[in-house]
Structure 1
Amino acid sequence: MATDNVSLSVDPREVTGKKVRALRRSGITPVHLYGGGGESLTLQAETQALRAAVNTAGRGQPIAIEVGGGEKALTFIREIAKHPVTGELQHVDFIRVDATVPVSAEVTLSIVGEAPATRGGGGQFLRGIRTVTISVLPLEVPDEIEVSIDGLENIGDNIRVEDLILPDGVVAISSPDQVVARIAMTRTAAVEVGEGMEVEEGEEGEEGEEGEES
């Protein structure tokens, strides 16, 4: 399950419009908090702290927000605006959530193990989707979901969303037929890569390795 909640302190913001540029130059970034039956709040956060929270939680983990020593809210990031050239944060929107009501979250899929089909059968391991959308209680969002490929023994074997082994309380809401991993014949793998699959480094079959050495 998720590690300790990410937390962020914010303060009410009175600066709006073009004056916000000066606010950003001083190391403060505008944020908004809304939803969950509460009022919409115009807020601000220290840019460094906000950046750390965004980088740690992303869109898949909850962030506990405290507003100027007052309201405390469990939130998820709803929108992130960045400067088109520098990539610096320009604005972040947070939405309140109820800890007792399931939310939709996007979680990384982590491949573990080794596919037997790549060891001698001329198989090439291909990656499909790298994240899955799930429904889960806010405080139970997993950091990642492990996907074992130890059972991929033959050419054509694959793992789809419907095959994922999920933690208790987690339900996948991505399309069940989306491919997570697949074993293709080495000589035809390039065709599948063109169809949206990706070659995963370190999982090439023997034929692919010999081809690189020649």
Structure 2
Amino acid sequence: MKVVAFERSKQGTGASRRLRNSGKTPGIVYGGAADVQLVELDHNALWHALKKEVFHSSILDMEIGGKSQQVLLRDVQYHPFKQYVLHVDFQRVDANKKLHTKVPLHFMNQETNPAVKLSGAVITHVVTELEVECLPADLPEFLEIDLAKIEAGQTMHAKDIVLPKGVSLTLAIDAENPVVASATIPAAVVSEEGENAAEGDAPAAE
């Protein structure tokens, strides 16, 4: 995904306020061998881009002054109650160095799961993203979580996910092995089944 930015020379609260008043958003680009670079982006274009999942989880081609560099979105500061962005941070990406970044989870086949269809189970998405380690070229836009076979009472952990080639969980996530999804039978369903069973066992009235 491509993003266009422009160099800015002025910094400070006053300069940033004037920038925002003109429809621009201040930001920085850091990392790698180059110095920290002050940039500005068109606010409306940035606002719409931020609504796309891929903008948060993939390598971006940032063009500044006709030159392109690969970056990752690292931080966004939003106004506390107005719909605009105060500041954005991007990190340069080295094609030969592994990076750590969070990748969104896409949950698949939940509607066709037998426990859901036949037993009234409810599948809960405990986490919606996981931190992975990989080279930039191997970074997936998302990870697919297949919920077709999870049974009532079961949980799915991070280590149960089939990762793409070249991608691994970060050491912290691997050690923690968090639950990503769980299937439970709601108390109301259990109660109703119990009542039905009791009625079936009750002797017929004479």
CA contact (8 A) 1:29 1:90 kept: yes
| Counterpart pick for 2:130 among 107, 129, 132 | 132
* Structure 2 residue aligned with 1:8: 3
- Residue 180 of structure 2 aligns with an amino acid whose one-letter code is V
User: Pairwise mapping of residues 1-214 of structure 1 onto structure 2 (< 5 A)?
Assistant: 6-17=1-12, 18-56=14-52, 57-70=54-67, 72-113=68-109, 114-153=112-151, 155-173=152-170, 174-175=173-174, 177-187=177-187
Deviation of 1:76 (Å): 0.8
Deviations 1:32-85 (A, max 9, x none): 111111111112122223334433344321111122124x22111122111112
User: Between the two proteins, what is the percent identity of the paired residues?
Assistant: 26
Question: Structure 2: which 5+ residue stretches go unaligned?
Answer: 194-206
Deviation of 1:122 (Å): 5.0
Structure with the largest fraction of helix: 2
**Distance (Å, rounded) in 2 between the aligned partners of 1:61 and 1:122:** 37
**Distance (Å, rounded) in 1 between the aligned partners of 2:32 and 2:50:** 20
Q: 1:118 to 1:10 in 2, by over 3 A?
A: closer
When Rg is computed on C-alpha atoms for both structures, the one with the higher figure is: 2
SS of the residue 2:56 aligns to: coil
CA contact (8 A) 2:103 2:131 kept: yes
The alignment's TM-score, normalised by the length of structure 1, stands at 0.76
CA contact (8 A) 1:36 1:98 kept: yes
**What is the count of residue pairs matched by the alignment?**
185
The alignment's TM-score, normalised by the length of structure 2, stands at 0.79
CA contact (8 A) 1:53 1:63 kept: no
Question: Structure 1: which 5+ residue stretches go unaligned?
Answer: 1-5, 189-203, 209-214
CA contact (8 A) 1:7 1:53 kept: no
